[in-house]
Amino acid sequence: MKTVGEVSALVGITVRTLHHYDERGLLSPRGRTDSGYRLYSERDLERLQEILGWRALGFSLEEIRELLDDPGHDRLSALRTQRELVDAELARLAGLALALDRAIATVEHGNEQQEETMFNGFEPSQYEDEARERWSHTDAYKESARRVASYGELQWREIRAQAQEIERLFAELKRSGQPADGEPARAAAEQARLHIDRWFYPCSREMHRALGEMYVADPRFAANHEKVEPGLTAYVRDAIAASAEAPA
């Protein structure tokens, strides 16, 4: 058992943060000293590890509490989902970094970029095959890189068109008053999941649900959705969650 001060020193977060987690019902230590001071068990530390993993991925404290307190929560499955989400984000950022490198190089050499390819890597779903060298150790990237290595401009146009069509469908459903947990919205969510699964990497319902939460937490993604339809990001997240809970 460790005191709150020992946990603070071990993890690198403040005592105040640990107290806040306790007050929010997120991490209430299992033990107390005779004087009433908090004592953290090994299981408490494992829960804290998961909390910090979800926080790093952009999840809110309330979202994390719901995930951890879900009756079906499984630690191994949660850690694997976190790992997959990290791999996917690394791949996305690697593609963006390479796109920026190309843009910088053209400016430095006084060249013009080709309009057909200058935005490759700037969309959240686009991963460039050159990024393989940087992130080849991650399973999700290995799979996405294997697939996109053969994609040409026609494939990227199809990917963009499909993604835009899915977004348009979500927006129309929301504008028409269709509930996020209704069958049409769930069908759109499944279409979105299959789009990722087809073009990039295997995307389970559980992973897609976690991605939905990330969409809300990531201001870059939310900003794009909100331009199309106010409140669309949360609507998509809720539709994905409903689809994940529906019978397969």
19-64 pLDDT, tens per residue?
999 999 999 998 888 788 889 999 999 999 999 998 888 788 888 8
| Per-residue tokens: 53 | 């993993």
H/E stretch holding 113 reads none
- Amino acid letter at 32? R
CB 141 within 8 A of CB 131: yes
CB 40 within 8 A of CB 29: yes
- Which pLDDT belongs to residue 171? 93
Q: Which residue has the higher pLDDT, 129 or 246?
A: 246
C-alpha span between 223 and 99 (Å, rounded): 21
Q: Which domains does the chain have, with CATH numbers?
A: 2-69 (1.10.1660.10), 74-150 (no CATH), 151-248 (1.10.490.50)
Torsion of CA 150, 154, 159, 163, to 10 degrees: 170
**Binning pLDDT at 50, 70 and 90, where does residue 129 land?**
very low
Identify any residues that bridge with 38 across adjacent strands, giving them in sequence order.
32
C-alpha span between 34 and 11 (Å, rounded): 24
